């Protein structure tokens, strides 16, 4: 078992104990977000840091609201 720490830029996203270590350019899904492994760095014999780049989330814009005052 290897402790795998997933990072996005410098932020820790997830830590897992895994049998297999992810490879570079592998598509991966963490916490419902799709991403790609950019770099794998072995820190110690049983600790690995994996750097992931997630796809950009496109937020839908709210409908244009009416600026008219409501009448009672």
With respect to residue 64, please indicate whether it lies within any of the assigned structural domains.
no
Give the count of domains, the chain. Answer: 1
Rounded to whole angstroms, the Cα distance separating 21 from 24 reads 10
Q: Provide the pLDDT for residue 65.
A: 65
With respect to residue 41, please indicate whether it lies within any of the assigned structural domains.
yes
- The string of pLDDT tens digits covering residues 15-47 is 999 999 999 999 999 999 999 999 999 999 999
With respect to residue 70, please indicate whether it lies within any of the assigned structural domains.
no
With respect to residue 32, please indicate whether it lies within any of the assigned structural domains.
yes
- The string of pLDDT tens digits covering residues 62-72 is 766 666 676 67
On the question of pLDDT at 2 being above 90, the answer is yes
Strands 33-44 and 27-30: antiparallel
Domain that holds residue 23: 2-54
With respect to residue 67, please indicate whether it lies within any of the assigned structural domains.
no
């Amino acid at each position: 078992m290897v402790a795998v720490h997933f990072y996005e830029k410098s932020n820790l996203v997830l830590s897992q104990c895994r049998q297999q270590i992810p490879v570079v350019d592998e598509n991966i899904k963490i916490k419902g977000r799709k991403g790609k492994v950019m770099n794998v760095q072995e820190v110690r014999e049983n600790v690995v840091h994996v750097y992931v780049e997630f796809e950009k989330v496109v937020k839908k814009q709210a409908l244009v609201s009416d600026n008219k005052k409501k009448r009672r």
